[in-house]
Amino acid sequence: MMEKSSGSVWRRAKRCLGSNRTIRSVLVGLGVTTVAATACFLYLPQPARLGTAETGDAALGARVREAVGNEEGFRGLSVAFIDGERTTFAGLGNSGNPEHPSVGKDTVFEVGSIGKPMTGMLLASLADQKRIDLSTPLERLLPRDRFSDPALASATLTDLLTHRSGLALMPTGLDTSLREAELRLLGRDPYRGLTEQDLFTAAADASLGPPGTYVYSNFGMALAGQTAARLTGKPYDKLLREELLDPLGMDHSQIVRSGEAIPPTSASGTKATGPAMDHWRASGFTPAGDLWSTSNDLAILLRAVLAKTAPGARAADPLYPRGPNGAVGLGWNVSRTQGRSLVWHDGETGGFTAYVGMDPARGRGVVVLSNTDRPVDAVGERLLGFDAASAAQEPPESSGFAPALTVVFSLCAGLLALWTSRHRVPGPASWIRMAIDVLFAAGLLALVWQLGSWLVVPPEVWGLGVFILAGGVWSARNQAAPRAGSDKAAGRPGGRWPLVRFTAVRVALLVLAAASLV
């Protein structure tokens, strides 16, 4: 009797659920809400934030936090401070390496364009040894190479090292724009696969701007370093190791080639807004900045430059003007500020930033290494006692129209799906259109997640976009499509749109959004 009664209750419940549209709607709504909430919980943008963990000198760590100010956008910092004969170190936050999460003086970071002053010192040292001549034109140093622009043929290594050759930042014939887009969208290394021969081929076809004018150039610095490598018959990385890194005892500094293992104590890099970035490895442009190093090694370098005992230390001497209050040496920048000279350079790769600076008059130096793309120049300047304009510069994604676009695209991702759900058309076309809008919204939300200004815009805005999309899906499930040929169907705006045009509009909007954010 009990079994029969239970079966009867179950059958009545099934009939009720099958016939009661309201209950089914509630269940669908709960399911969609659960999926949306799970997506937000797992994938809500998570901007980097400097953690509370610290190693090294506590007093220096406190000074670093004061110089940083707003800690959002940083993940881990490795800092060295030189004051005369004394060097102190502090590590803050997390390295992102699960096996070595603590940040210390031997944690390995990508230091990007910090490699430029090292290239300058390397070539200055080779010139001091009479192994190369920095004042000889390229056409004489490389007699087998041909340069279509006579201005480049007559340029010297000094011109290249001081950014006065007239070469642009990067060659125009190496898919530079596409590589930059891949860096922003996918986090890929923009120099991957480029060889030394690619560099010289690009130089052969390069057209120069006005020579003698300062124009920052990765192209020119890479060409200078690879020319030295050709003249000495040694690969650039081996030349740098023998002439600079080994003599100074910079044992943790290296250039990592494709296929080689990542150093076990290396930090992992991310954007300040959260997305992970690929490591940058050796390429034909390595002399412009593919070096990996530590705060301890770079402190060794700065101490030797301050003492003028480093190979090629004269590279830090100012040679030519660089703006109204600055000068440039062989790879080093020299600024005149607050009545003092500041010798410095910064570096940036996809997920790392770096700064080295020296106050020669006071015998002070600083190294600041970070494993996000938020700049650290102002942090270093403040630690040296210079009155920087801000505690720390924001990454490019946090300025201009980017925050507004982040909000608009996040909220609009699901609005088209909601609109489509309210303007259904007869037959299966409704569900096809809805599926297209869901795919469009997912693509736009993924795009904004990667490129959005999440240091300025609350990440919950992205979550709201997910819930708007969920609302569109739920609404579509509960909206009855009009019958074909009815006045209601004919009056629907969506009913007059061919499916191809409907799809093309969504694709065009997605491309426009990508172009706007990139």
User: 510 - beta bridge partners?
Assistant: none
Six-digit token string for 126? 């080779």
Residues in Cβ contact with 486 at an 8 Å cutoff, skipping those fewer than 6 apart: 426
For residue range 55-66, what is the model confidence (pLDDT) as tens digits?
Answer: 999 999 999 999
Question: Which of 166-175, 319-328, 398-407 is least confident?
Answer: 398-407
pLDDT at 491: 43
- Given a contact cutoff of 8 angstroms between Cβ atoms, the answer to whether 358 and 365 are in contact is yes
- Given a contact cutoff of 8 angstroms between Cβ atoms, the answer to whether 171 and 206 are in contact is yes
Closest Cα to residue 239, out of 129, 348, 343, 112? 129
Q: How many CA atoms lie within 13 A of 371 on its CB side?
A: 37
Q: Work out whether the CA dihedral 98, 103, 104, 110 comes out positive or negative.
A: positive
For residue range 272-291, what is the model confidence (pLDDT) as tens digits?
Answer: 999 999 999 999 999 999 99
pLDDT at 430: 76
Measured CA to CA, the distance from residue 316 to residue 12 in angstroms comes to: 87
- Check pLDDT > 90 for residue 495: no
Closest Cα to residue 473, out of 408, 419, 429? 419
Q: Report the 10 Å Cβ neighbour count for 202.
A: 21
- Check pLDDT > 90 for residue 29: no
pLDDT at 490: 44
pTM score, two decimals?
0.88
Distances (CA, A) of 82 to 5, 89, 187, 251: 85, 9, 34, 19
Q: How many CA atoms lie within 13 A of 325 on its CB side?
A: 8
User: 291 - beta bridge partners?
Assistant: 112, 255
Measured CA to CA, the distance from residue 154 to residue 184 in angstroms comes to: 36
Distances (CA, A) of 331 to 4, 134, 145, 254, 403: 89, 13, 24, 19, 35
- Given a contact cutoff of 8 angstroms between Cβ atoms, the answer to whether 342 and 381 are in contact is yes
The H-or-E segment that residue 461 falls in is: helix 460-478
Residue 366 banded pLDDT, cuts 50, 70, 90: very high
- Given a contact cutoff of 8 angstroms between Cβ atoms, the answer to whether 375 and 346 are in contact is yes
The H-or-E segment that residue 513 falls in is: helix 499-517
Considering the chain, what percentage of its residues have pLDDT values greater than 90?
A: 66
Task: Kindly write down the DSSP assignment for every residue of 16-57, as one continuous string.
Answer: HHHH-HHHHHHHHHHHHHHHHHHHHHHHS----B--S-EEE-
pLDDT at 487: 46
Question: Which of 29-43, 214-228, 298-312, 456-470 is least confident?
Answer: 29-43
For residue range 496-517, what is the model confidence (pLDDT) as tens digits?
Answer: 457 788 888 888 988 888 888 8
In the numeric block, the tokens 């003086």 are attached to 105
Task: Kindly write down the DSSP assignment for every residue of 114-177, as one continuous string.
Answer: THHHHHHHHHHHHHHTTSS-TTSBHHHHSTT---SSHHHHT-BHHHHHTT-S---SS-SSS-HH
- Check pLDDT > 50 for residue 3: no
| Backbone phi and psi for residue 498, each to the nearest 5 degrees, phi listed first | -60, 150
Mean pLDDT, rounded, for 285-309 = 97
* 333-337 and 340-348 beta bridge pairing: antiparallel
Residue 204's SS3 state is helix
pLDDT at 494: 46
For residue range 413-446, what is the model confidence (pLDDT) as tens digits?
Answer: 888 888 877 776 656 777 788 888 889 988 999 9
Six-digit token string for 204? 């052969």
pLDDT at 489: 46
pLDDT at 222: 98
Amino acid identity at 180: E
- Given a contact cutoff of 8 angstroms between Cβ atoms, the answer to whether 494 and 80 are in contact is no
pLDDT at 482: 53
Measured CA to CA, the distance from residue 75 to residue 259 in angstroms comes to: 27
User: 345 - beta bridge partners?
Assistant: 356
| Distance in angstroms between the alpha carbons of the first and the last residue of the chain | 70
pLDDT at 493: 45
Q: Report the 10 Å Cβ neighbour count for 277.
A: 22
Residues 412-430 as b or e (16 or more Cβ within 10 Å = b): bbbbbbbebbebbbbeebb
pLDDT at 421: 75
| Backbone phi and psi for residue 36, each to the nearest 5 degrees, phi listed first | -65, -45
- Check pLDDT > 90 for residue 398: no
- Given a contact cutoff of 8 angstroms between Cβ atoms, the answer to whether 281 and 175 are in contact is no
- Check pLDDT > 90 for residue 6: no
For residue range 323-336, what is the model confidence (pLDDT) as tens digits?
Answer: 888 999 999 999 99
- Given a contact cutoff of 8 angstroms between Cβ atoms, the answer to whether 50 and 75 are in contact is yes
